[in-house]
Amino acid sequence: MVRLAALIAVIGVALGLAGLAGRLPAALSADAPANVFSAARAQADIEVIAREPHPIGSAANARVRDYILQRMAASGLETQVQTQFSLRRATSRTSDPVFLGGPVENIIGVLPGRDRSAPALALMAHYDSVRHSPGAADNAAGVAAALEVARVLRAHGTPERDVVFLMTDGEEAGLLGAEAFFDSHPLAGRIGFLVNMEARGGGGLAQMFQTASRNRGAIDLLQSVAHHPSASSLSVLVYSVMPNDTDFTVSRAAGIDGLNFAFIGRQFDYHAPTSKPGNLDAGSLQHMGDQVTAIALAAALSASLPTRGPDQTFSHTFNDLLIAYPPLAGWLVLAACAGLLALALRNARRSGVLDAPGVIRGAGAAVYLVLFTGAVLHLARRIASDGRGFLEQRDLLARVTVWEIAILLIGLGALLLTIRMSSSGRSRLQACALALAAGAGALVFGWDPAAVALGTAAGVAGIMTFGPPVRVAPAWTGVLLTGFAAALLLQLLVPTAAFLVAWPLLAACLLAVLTTLGAGAPAWRLPVASLLVGAPVAAWLLGYAHGVFLGLDLPAVLTVFVWLASLVLWPLAHGDPAGKVGRSRAVFWLGRGSAACLIGGLVVAGTLRATPPWSERFPEATLVQHLYDSDTGKAFLISSEPRLSPWTRQVLTQQGLPPERIRDDLVGRRPVWSAPAPAEPLEATGMSVETLPDGRRRLIIRPPADAGRLDIRIRCNTPWAGAAINGRPADLLSAPGVWNRVRIAAPPGELVIDFMPAGPGTLEVLSMTQTTGWPRALRPLPARKTDEMAFGDSDTALVKARRNFNW
C-alpha cells in the first residue's frame, strides 16, 4: 500500500508541475516601463484591428491597413505599401495543379539601423482575417505584438541594423502577401533573419514550432534569450510533414533563416466570429510578446545575426531552460541509458529478482499497453462526437477541458489496468476480452478499420503476454527495453525526435539503478526517488501530451505518452516489492482504480455526445450557401456541415423537400447537403477567348462586381507554353487533358490568362464565383439565435458557369 500511496502522490505532483509549467505570464499593464513588452498596450491595437471581419479586398481591410500605417508612422518607421497582383502555385492534395492569386497590399515599416547595408531583421505577421471572424487572435494579435515590439526597440535606441516590420495581406487566401514580397520586393533580398507570429486559437503558450533549415544559430539565439520557452525539434519535424502553411513557409522557401511562433489554445475561436478582443487570452499575448521581444532585441542590437549550422535536437524543459545539442550527441544519451540499465540489471541479478520469462512478459505488456490504450482512446473519440475534422470537433472544442480530462482518465486507467494484469496473473482472457470490446465498441458508430486493427492486435498481444504473475524487476526491465529499442530506432531514423523517448528513458534507467529495478530495500527508496525523478518526467510528458492534444484531433496518438509515462511509473503501480506477486490489497485497489478511471473517462465522453454545448460564448456553427447553375437555370441551398444544425435544416427544407448528400468538385472535396431552392437568376462570370497578333491566345474572365472569390477549372487537349495570369508567369496547362485549378481572392474586374497553344485544340472552362454576401435578389435568411453563428463561407451565393472554346 505504500507504493500505491506514493503512486497517487507522484501523479498529483506531476499534474501540479505540469500546471505550473503551462501557466501563462501575467499581462503587463499599459503603464509598464517603456523598455518592456506590454500586452495591455498591444491589446489597444487589437481592439481597433479586430473591430470587425476584414478579409482581403474588403473595405474593412483597407481601414485596418490605414490604421497600421498610422501606428507605424507614429513609431518612427519608414512606411510603404506594396500593391501587387500575387500568384503562387500551392501544394495540392490531388495531382491537379492549383494556383492561388489575388491583389494584395502589404504594409512595410522600416526602423532604420546604424548600418543600413547590414542584413536586416524582419518581424512578420498578416493583417487580413477570414470572413465572419474579426481575427483578434489570427492575426490581430501578431500585428499588435509587432507594433509593440517596434515601440520597445525604439525605447532601446538605434539598432545596429534595419528592422523590417512586414504586415502581409492575403495570408488567409493562400499566403499571397508573403509570396508577393519575397518574390519581387527589393527589401526581401536584404533580410537575414525573420520572426513570424501566428495563431490557431485564442490562448495557450506561444510555441516556437518551425525553423528554417540548418537552424543551429537560430536555436542558439532562442536558447540564450527565451523566457519560459515552448519549443522543440519534435514540433519542427511534425509540422514539416503536415499540410499546414503560414507566411513562414514562403520566407523559408526563399532561404531566409528564422523562427515561427503561434499559440493554439482556445481553438474554438479559430476562424470564428467569437475571435473577438475580449476572448483573447492576454497572457498568451504577453508570452508571445516576451519571446519575440527578447529575440528582436538580441538580433537587432547585435553586431551580427545568427549563423546557420546543422539542425539541432532541442526541447524546452522547465522555466527558462531549453536543452539543445547536435543530433549525433543523442548517441551519448543512449549510451548513458545503456550504461545505467546494465548497472541496474547487474544489481538485480545479484539480488536474484530477475528472470528471462518475466522480462519477455514485461516487454509484451508494454506492447499491449500501447495497442490497448490506442483502441480505448479511439473508441472514446467515436463516442464523444461523430467524424473527424475542424467542423466535426467543434462541440468538443467548446468543452475542450472536459474532453482532455476524459482522455487523461482513460490513459491513466489503461496504464494501471495493464500493470495490474501483469502483476496479478490469471488475466489473459480478461486482457483479450477488453481489447476486443474496445475495438468492437467503435464499430457501433460505423465501420472502422483502425478500431478493428487496434482491438485485434491488442487482443493477440494480451493472449501472448499475460499469464503467470510477473515480479516488478523483470516486468519493468521488459518495459525499459521497449523504450531503449524505440529510442534507438528514432535515433537512427529521425534523430531530432529521439529525445522524446531518450530523455524519459534516461531518467527511468537512473531510477532503476537507485531502486534496483524497483525491488531494492529499504521500502522508502522507490517512493522518494520516484517523487524526485519520476514526477518531473511525468509532468514534462503531460506538457507534450497537452500540446499534441491541442494540435491533432487524433486521441489515439496520445497512447505514446501513456507508454512513455510507464517507463517511470511502472514500479510504483506494480504494487509489490521483490518476491511478492499475485493478489494483494494494493493490486485489488489498483484494479478498482483502473476500472474507475477507464469507465469514468468513457462516461465523460458519452456525456459530451449527449449534451449540446452551445451558448452565447460557444455558439453552434451554421453554414448555408445558395448555389445557382447558370447553364441549367437550377438553384440549390447547400451546406458543408457534417451534421445539419437545426437552423441550417430549417433553411434547407424551405421547399418541403429533405436535403440529400451530393458531391460537386467546384464546391469542395467533400460531399455537401443539398436541397432545391427557387431559381433566381444571378450574374455569372463572363468568359471569352481572343487571338493576339503573335499567335498567343488570351482567355478573358470577367467576374460579377460582387464577387469575393473566383474559382476556375480549366483543361485543354493540347499543351500550353508561356502561360501567364494577369501578367504573372504560371506553369499552367503544361500537360494536355489535366484539370488545372485557379482560385482568385478579391478578383479584379478582369482576369487575363495568356498562353501559346501547341496547335489546334479545345479549352474547357468551369467557373464559380462566390459573392461577398447574401444577394438581395434572394430570399433573406432567417435570423440566428444568440447561440448560433455564421461560419466559414456561409451567407454567400455561388454561381456556376461552363464554356468551351475551340481554335
Q: How far is CA 514 from CA 422, 572, 792, in A?
A: 23, 14, 56
Length of the chain: 807
Which amino acid is located at 193 in the chain? F
Cα–Cα dist 364/467, whole Å: 11
- Cβ(801)–Cβ(628) below 8 Å: no
CA dihedral 283, 288, 294, 299 (to 10 degrees): -170
- Cβ(377)–Cβ(442) below 8 Å: no
Cell of 55: 478579409
pTM: 0.96
Cα–Cα dist 14/536, whole Å: 6
SS3 sequence of 690-744:
EECCCCCEEEEEECCCCEEEEEEEEEECCCEEEEEECCEECCCCCCCCCCEEEEE
Cα–Cα dist 492/560, whole Å: 19
- Cβ(483)–Cβ(567) below 8 Å: yes
Per-residue burial over 456-477, b if 16 or more Cβ lie within 10 Å, else e, is bbbbbbbbbbbbebbbbbbbbb
The strand pair at 313-316 and 751-757 is best described as: unpaired
Q: Residues 249-253: contacts with CB within 8 Å, 24+ apart?
A: 249/175, 249/178, 250/88, 250/175, 250/178, 250/179, 250/181, 250/182, 251/122, 251/124, 251/178, 251/182, 251/191, 251/194, 251/196, 251/212, 252/210, 252/212, 252/213, 253/182
**Beta-carbon-side half-sphere exposure of residue 185 (alpha carbons within 13 Å):** 27
- Rg of the chain taking only CA atoms, in angstroms: 29
Cα–Cα dist 84/78, whole Å: 20
Cα–Cα dist 522/109, whole Å: 67
CA nearest to 414, candidates 431, 429, 426: 431
Give me the phi and psi of 684, to 5 degrees please. Answer: -100, 170
Residue ranges in 78-226 assigned as alpha helix (H): 142-155, 176-184, 216-225
SS3 sequence of 268-284:
HHCCCCCCCHHHCCHHH
Residue for grid cell 485485434: 456
pLDDT of 584 reads 62
pLDDT of 578 reads 45
- Cβ(257)–Cβ(305) below 8 Å: yes
CA dihedral 558, 473, 484, 503 (to 10 degrees): 70
Query: Which ranges of the chain have pLDDT less than 50?
Result: 578-579, 581-582
Per-residue burial over 297-319, b if 16 or more Cβ lie within 10 Å, else e, is bbbbbeeebbebeebbbbbbeee
Give me the phi and psi of 725, to 5 degrees please. Answer: -115, 115
Cα–Cα dist 367/475, whole Å: 12
pLDDT of 579 reads 44
Cell of 357: 520469462
- H-helix or E-strand containing 108? strand 98-111
Residue for grid cell 544519451: 333
First CA to last CA across the chain, in angstroms? 87
The strand pair at 762-771 and 660-662 is best described as: unpaired
Helices first, then strands: H and E counts in the chain: 22, 24
- Cβ(69)–Cβ(107) below 8 Å: yes
Q: How far is CA 75 from CA 148, 155, 295, in A?
A: 9, 10, 19
Cα–Cα dist 682/700, whole Å: 20
- Cβ(196)–Cβ(261) below 8 Å: yes
| Residue 23 CB neighbour total at 10 angstroms | 12
- Cβ(708)–Cβ(54) below 8 Å: no
DSSP string, 643-705: S--HHHHHHHTTTS---EEE--TTT-SS-EEEEEE-----PPPEEEEEE-TTS-EEEEEE--T
Is the peptide bond preceding residue 279 cis, with omega within 30 degrees of 0? no
Cα–Cα dist 81/189, whole Å: 17
Three-class SS state of 493: helix
Cα–Cα dist 339/480, whole Å: 13
DSSP string, 424-457: H---HHHHHHHHHHHHHHHHTTS--HHHHHHHHH
* Spatial CB neighbours of 350, under 8 Å, sequence gap ≥ 6: none
Which amino acid is located at 641 in the chain? E
